[in-house]
Structure 1
Amino acid sequence: MIAIDRLKILIGVLQSSHYDRQLFWAWIGRHPTPTDWDKFQDKVKADWTLKAKILFLASITFSQAIPCALILNLKFLRRGEGIAIKWIAFRAKKRLQKIKFRMIVGITGSFGKTTTKEIITQILGEKFRVHETPENVNTLLGIAGWILRTKFQDGDILIVEMGAYRKGDITAAARFVKPTVGILTGLNEAHRERFGSLEQTAAAKCELIDALSPGRIALWNQDSLLLREAVEIRLADWEKREIQSIPYGRKDNESMGFLCEGAGESGLLVRIDRNQNKSSREADKNIPTFSRMLECRMPILGEHVCQEFAVAVMLGNLLGMSREEIAKGCQSVRPLPRRLAPILAPGDRLIIDDSYNITLDGVGAALEVLASINRRKIGVFAGIPEGGKESDRINEELGRKIASAFEIILLGNTPVAEAVLRGLKEGGFNETHIIRYTDGKEVESIVARVAHDNDCIYFSAYDWPAIYL
């Protein structure tokens, strides 16, 4: 393979690591020779952004030291990039200041950000013009560029997902957007490798609320134990700044006339009380219960999604939406791709595509759904990356969790696979029912061979980006 092709592979790896030099060098340490890189030609594809093109042109002459050239050029590029980001953000901020938004919502967390954003958008969109950041646009540069390309009007609602790759990222995004409502979706050990500790991860996510102006609203998911602990530490400071801190969750929502429950393969059942701002217990007893409640059935798996509906209903109430408008908005919500998405396949097989799920919390939610499905189950897993020093413990726990849920498990040959295997053995899983695989193409052939009619086939994050492999 020629040097140009290898340079393209390494640019793809660098992008997969979010241009993190430490992760990139760790990958080079595991794959030190050019022939090692060649194996990733079909697995890694560079996204030819302007940044990638500049790196390619600046590094193309260094055929014998491509990794060093890439990192050196990245260092110089970042100096100019910082100036460019400030200029783009300045222009976008000027544009934002000209629009009188009805509400600006900032969303962050270790999990559930995109699902929360999509459900809020679809429900509020029943009455208002809602603009949401596209998938994977969650950095200051990405948000600013999207704002410059989007047409807004006075009275619109703006929903911005915010990601963090290092300390201060969310602070910068929040100060730029200036949300009127900040939402913390949850906290877990995802991205521990980026931040070093759970405390640092919590601090990074809570930057959103720390950056809110006095009198603004903070909504946070009380079902997340780790987030609840992080909020309790900061609550007194938020109250001093007159931040309205409001918890939400999947349960105890009668006070706002909202009930939600899972119904197995049938999806979610949401009930909205017709009596605005009254619970079903407080409503007029002369009206039969069935006539008071507006029922919505949606093909969405997992009772944990009720918490996303709860926060959307809260926002609908704040914006003065009627019960009928909220119920109609709920009815329009559809499953998100790769997030517990049910797919009916030939042979009456139920495929659950959860391939975006890469956290223990997400797997736990999936297992709740699977427990309500009366079919033989096949699970496809690769393990959980970015666990840092806790990686072995996290993946052993994953193995123990899934051991009793599946009849057959396909396990990828990833760096954490041995830890998952130890957990499976501790959980009493039959080792003869474990099938190892190398890539996504091999998964397809194995599933075709072992699956029966009427099976349920669950796909977790089974095909990792090259940076993790």
Structure 2
Amino acid sequence: MLDLTLTDITDILGGRLVLTDSAVAAGWAPESVVSGTVDTDSRLIGEGDVFVAKRGESDDGHRFVPNAVEAGAALVIVERESDVAVPQIVVPDSVDALGAFATEVVRRVRALGRLKIVGVTGSNGKTTTKNLLRSILERVGETVAPRDSFNNEVGAPLTMLKLTESTRFLVAEMGASGKGEITRLVRMAKPDVGVVLMVGLAHAGEFGGIETTLITKTEMVKDLEPTDVAVLNVDDHRVASMADKTAARVVWFGLGERAEVRATDIDASAIGTSFTLHLPDGSSSPVRFGVLGEHHVMNALAAAASAHELGVPLDVIVAGLESVTRAERWRMEVMGGGDGVVVINDAYNASPDSMASALKTLAQIARPDQRTVAVLGEMSELGPYAVEEHDRIGRLVVRLNIARLYVVGEGARALHLAANHEGSWDGEAVFAATADEAFDLIQADAREGDVILVKSSNSAGLRFLGDRLAEAHS
């Protein structure tokens, strides 16, 4: 974070500075400078950091103010006072204050004239694209990007607050569960390059349908200026329709001839995907991409297009792409293999699009002597589309000739029923009520050469089943 006095921060937040007697005795004054990391998790607070006490649905961060102070917090931002020996700024709403804080820090760093911002959104692929961009851009200059999937009204500002005077690039992952949320994040840190990856059914239940999802994702590019760049997926007709809704110059990425940044000669295997990258200036280069799954090539193209627009040379782009060997923890993560059983743990998130892509990858990469096994759980937040989409995935499993299917949890029951109806199988599709039950069933039937895909939404918890299976076969 930038070096700021307590008075500076109080003015930015529109709050009230409170210095208890014990804080004054400890040497704190309005002109004292704070420069530590800002976080809402007291467990991550260290010496000199800033703790923001946020009220949640099931807990209240104010309970952890003493823990944060004990861990070394130099400042706490709260909605009600505590009796602590460090300064505290009292605000009406800590989340709003966090957004105001981030907006001003971005403004100050931008005023120095070096900072470039890339905003990334889409129904799938945001975190992978963000990681690829970080790998590329940090080779050129100091780069700030989110940890994990910090892309909402709390996570995005926390990332922005990591900016320093020497930061050259900010990669801002911008997610949403409803209209206006991406606009809010864009107005905190308006991108020089705005990326839209795809518009699908992820979170469709929260959005209220695919058309609302389209409107919401369009927020990424609608406020861009003619000097900015919109990096759009030409192969997704919904994303392509955004070209008429932005003043920015459009750069297309995709696999077809219309794409200005595209991939040819794609070859997917169990160790990654190779392809030839083509840029708008006519240059091209082979890429040995270690992230598993042909669908991740689109994320690589989006990252390459963005970096190219920021002036990054082709060889640096390729080096950045090739250095990333997994999308993220629990995202197409190849594990196990010690006894000939490979586990692909992709159970951090799931939508109909990402589920279909993962299953196609499983079918594509297995050798003829390997058996394909899919362990699938619920795709959450689909609302009225839930039964239909689970049904579609169950039928896809059969059509891809996946050898064995384990469906875990009542929320995915429709997937199991659809697979049976589609294939008239005799025991190839198995239902397990719990992850423990599934583990026992899978282990009893596992054989050397199996390639096991574990895929579900985060809420289904199958990522831990994937870890457990990988450990058993390490």
Bin the TM-score by the shorter chain.
0.7 to 0.9
Alignment map for 1:294-443 (pairs within 5 Å): 295-335=286-326, 336-372=328-364, 373-374=366-367, 375-404=370-399, 405-417=401-413, 419-443=414-438
Residues 121 and 462 of structure 1, relative CA distance in 2, 3 Å threshold: closer
Q: Is the Cα contact below 8 Å between 2:408 and 2:432 reproduced in 1?
A: yes
Measure how far apart 1:122 and its partner are: 0.9
Alignment partner of 2:272 out of 267, 270, 277: 267
Measure how far apart 1:398 and its partner are: 0.8
**Separation in 2 of the partners of 1:271 and 1:129?**
28
* Structure 2 residue matching 1:105: 3-state secondary structure: strand
**Separation in 1 of the partners of 2:353 and 2:58?**
37
**Separation in 2 of the partners of 1:216 and 1:388?**
36
User: 1:236: which partner in 2?
Assistant: 244
C-alpha distance after superposition, 1:193-234 (max 9, x if no partner) = 112121111111111112323432111222334x24xx42x5
* Structure 2 residue matching 1:334: 3-state secondary structure: coil
Q: Is the Cα contact below 8 Å between 1:126 and 1:326 reproduced in 2?
A: no
Alignment partner of 1:165 out of 160, 174, 177: 177
The runs of 5 or more residues in structure 1 that have no matched partner are 1-45, 61-75, 281-292
Measure how far apart 1:422 and its partner are: 3.2
C-alpha distance after superposition, 1:256-308 (max 9, x if no partner) = 586462331131114457x993246xxxxxxxxxxxx5x44233221221111
User: 2:119: which partner in 1?
Assistant: 106
Q: After superposing the two structures, state which structure 1 stretch, 111-120 or 310-319, moved more.
A: 310-319
User: 1:130: which partner in 2?
Assistant: 143
**Separation in 2 of the partners of 1:103 and 1:117?**
14
Residue type of the alignment partner of 1:331:
E
Give the TM-score normalised by structure 1.
0.73
**Separation in 2 of the partners of 1:179 and 1:52?**
29
Q: Does 1:199 align with 2:229?
A: no
Q: Give the number of equivalent residue pairs.
A: 381
Q: Is the Cα contact below 8 Å between 2:392 and 2:418 reproduced in 1?
A: yes
Residues 308 and 57 of structure 1, relative CA distance in 2, 3 Å threshold: closer
Q: Is the Cα contact below 8 Å between 1:85 and 1:141 reproduced in 2?
A: yes
**Separation in 1 of the partners of 2:333 and 2:347?**
9
Q: After superposing the two structures, state which structure 1 stretch, 84-93 or 177-186, moved more.
A: 84-93
Residues 91 and 360 of structure 1, relative CA distance in 2, 3 Å threshold: closer
**Separation in 1 of the partners of 2:270 and 2:219?**
38
| Structure number having the greater strand percentage | 2
**Separation in 1 of the partners of 2:424 and 2:332?**
24
Percent of paired sites with the same residue: 22
User: 1:96: which partner in 2?
Assistant: 106
**Separation in 2 of the partners of 1:98 and 1:397?**
49
Give the TM-score normalised by structure 2.
0.72
**Separation in 1 of the partners of 2:458 and 2:119?**
30
C-alpha distance after superposition, 1:155-186 (max 9, x if no partner) = 51000111112221111111111111111111
Alignment map for 1:12-91 (pairs within 5 Å): 50-51=53-54, 56=59, 83-91=93-101
RMSD: 3.2
Alignment partner of 2:282 out of 272, 278, 282: 278
Residues 259 and 120 of structure 1, relative CA distance in 2, 3 Å threshold: farther
Q: Is the Cα contact below 8 Å between 1:276 and 1:323 reproduced in 2?
A: no
User: 2:158: which partner in 1?
Assistant: 145
Measure how far apart 1:151 and its partner are: 4.2
Q: Is the Cα contact below 8 Å between 1:272 and 1:323 reproduced in 2?
A: no
Q: Does 1:185 align with 2:191?
A: no
Measure how far apart 1:254 and its partner are: 8.6
User: 2:32: which partner in 1?
Assistant: none
Residues 245 and 81 of structure 1, relative CA distance in 2, 3 Å threshold: farther
**Separation in 1 of the partners of 2:181 and 2:426?**
44
Measure how far apart 1:126 and its partner are: 2.3
Q: Is the Cα contact below 8 Å between 2:377 and 2:457 reproduced in 1?
A: yes
User: 1:5: which partner in 2?
Assistant: none
Specify which structure has the bigger relative contact order, considering alpha-carbon pairs within 8 angstroms and separated by 6 or more residues.
Answer: 1
Residues 260 and 138 of structure 1, relative CA distance in 2, 3 Å threshold: farther
Residue type of the alignment partner of 1:218:
A
The runs of 5 or more residues in structure 2 that have no matched partner are 1-40, 44-51, 64-78, 81-89, 462-474
**Separation in 2 of the partners of 1:306 and 1:257?**
9
